[in-house]
Structure 1
């Protein structure tokens, strides 16, 4: 039986994500206290303004990135030295690449490259580098661009992995639903088959019992011995029907295959003998030796003859003669005729 996939790939839950973001912001703000101790209130203020929006970066990645980028641009005008708050920029880039549409992630990457050039230029001014050339600008610009690129790449990889994992989970759940549906259809077909067989068993057995009981009622007054034999036939037929009914009901119980084997082609002779014992005139042409046919074919032939003889007893009239012919060659042929009133 298929089992439901209850364990998805591990990932932080919503509550854990909120606590992680709070700890991240708290850690950055704790580092920003160093600006206050160093007598840099502007740097501390800008750091707080850049770090706090990260609390909403998962659900509003693009607006948070725009806010961080705008505050970073204002900081570049007011402050010419690195600040702790600038660590929020790669975090915001990662968040856009991870949680936002792909085009927004690419836009954030390009803004990051532009910001790397601006930041490197402002830092060189703040450090008193004098003339700014490509030689002294490149190390800072390349380093900052590498950090931004790494943040974007990690975010994009995480987004791609999540989509891939979600697609695998969806396909597994769909396959599970299809397997459950196939099991349900198979069980429905089996119940229908058992219901048909139960109908055949009940109809055949009861028809024999009714015919025998009618005969015994009329014979009891004139010939008690006939009535005794008829009652014995009724008893035998009832027990056989009950045994086959138990077998069919046993199929409905788990781990039970029934209390008797399924009837087959060789059991058709018993049907003929039973019909004759019930008073019907039956001419039979049956295979003499045991047959070797598939179980399903033998069961189908048995049920056909059983239903046909039941219909003869019900509808052909008391004086009808039935002929049953079964031949086994390249195929199994079953023919039941009667000369009754129809």
Structure 2
């Protein structure tokens, strides 16, 4: 089965959302707070609105499992924030109304099933607020397997051009990257064993997102001597897929050992790495379960590698 249409719609939607996010970032609006107190800006909501509208128009029967919803945004005291979100969305969809925007956002309240999309409208919100790395991540899951993954990374460095890189993959077709500035698509591959210069290790900037002491110990145990490169968001998957790093570890934090990852935080990145020749599992070597629930309840931790060192990493973790 061809997924060309799905890939094209996903690319166009994430690039449009990236334009909105960068416009918001230029203005740096005050962050709102979700119920769990993590920061969320009008960019998250505007990004989700744009992408959900695009998917729904072409694939009207496909559920979308997204990170955000419009419950808070509909409250009277949030009228100013709703107006801001709508104004930014209008930059990409000129005739958008506030009512449409909230409806589009809530299209992301779908359920996992035989075929569905999962969306993180801004993965790495803190990186976004710091003017650092973030990603707009969208993936199609069908019959329990990620079939299409697209990540727009507006702050990802591009030699001799402005930052901004799109990473994408279709199952069985390999992975590619495309600079925003040139739209030139290039196949990507994980780092080879003899490329010692890129035998690096990436991890999250936020210490609460993992066990940094253990992660560094594991990296050293498998022969990676350089200090870790700390990077927000699924851009880390892009670094591994494009051969700029050999390993990404996200091990449970000692402060929250029972934490389980959300599917939208990993699905798009996972297929990009796998199609680039790498491997993605949990810390016990089990495949990540993107098809059962929004949270990967049967998995703990995430190990992303060039494949060559993966079994050695898993053995070190034991």
Which of structures 1 and 2 has the bigger CA Rg?
1
**Which band: TM-score by shorter chain?**
under 0.3
Q: Using CA pairs under 8 Å that are at least 6 residues apart, name the structure with larger relative contact order, 1 or 2.
A: 2
Structure (1/2) with the larger strand percentage: 2
TM-score where L is the length of structure 1: 0.21
Q: What is the TM-score when the length of structure 2 is the normalising length?
A: 0.22
